[in-house]
Structure 1
Amino acid sequence: MSTQTPWIKAQASGGGGQCVEMRRNGQSVDVRDTKAHGNGPILRFSPGEFSAWIDAAKGGELDALSS
């Protein structure tokens, strides 16, 4: 039985091509660049690593990277 889910991206990303897609893949979370159309590299994170990144983004710890 596969635990791989379909690729998803945020609804707020729009159609500008500046987004990433994510999926659950067994015991990891995969992240890829939407512009690569499935041909680019995939970053793989443990659920704990991914949760830490989400928490940091929500808490504003990464805001300096977007300015």
Structure 2
Amino acid sequence: MRKPDLSQVRWRKSSLSGDGPSCVEMAFAGNDVAVRDTKNRDGGTLVFPRTEWTIFINGIKNGHYDNPV
């Protein structure tokens, strides 16, 4: 598994999270999307191909995760 260089990425968090520390941040890193916990930024980062991230976000927008089993 390759690990993208995250040293120069711009981390973003949802404007809906306000100033609270309990959320996740994401960053675009080339063809990947990195995700980390704002409470523990050094605790690890999940990296997804941008195509998978897009499918996930579209699933959220379309309500596919509204009623988890």
Alignment TM-score, normalising by the size of structure 1: 0.80
The runs of 5 or more residues in structure 2 that have no matched partner are none
**Which residue of structure 1 aligns with residue 26 of structure 2?**
22
Quote the offset at 1:5 in angstroms: 2.8
Q: Spell out the pairing of 1:23-42 with structure 2 (5 A cutoff).
A: 23-36=27-40, 38-42=41-45
Q: For 1:58, which of 56, 61, 66 is the aligned residue?
A: 61
CA RMSD after TM alignment? 2.0
Quote the offset at 1:16 in angstroms: 2.7
Runs of 4+ more than 4 Å apart: none
Residue 52 of structure 2 is aligned to residue 49 of structure 1: yes
Alignment TM-score, normalising by the size of structure 2: 0.78
Q: Which has the higher helix share?
A: 1
Quote the offset at 1:35 in angstroms: 0.7
The runs of 5 or more residues in structure 1 that have no matched partner are none
Quote the offset at 1:15 in angstroms: 2.5
Corresponding pairs, count: 63
% identity of equivalent residues: 40
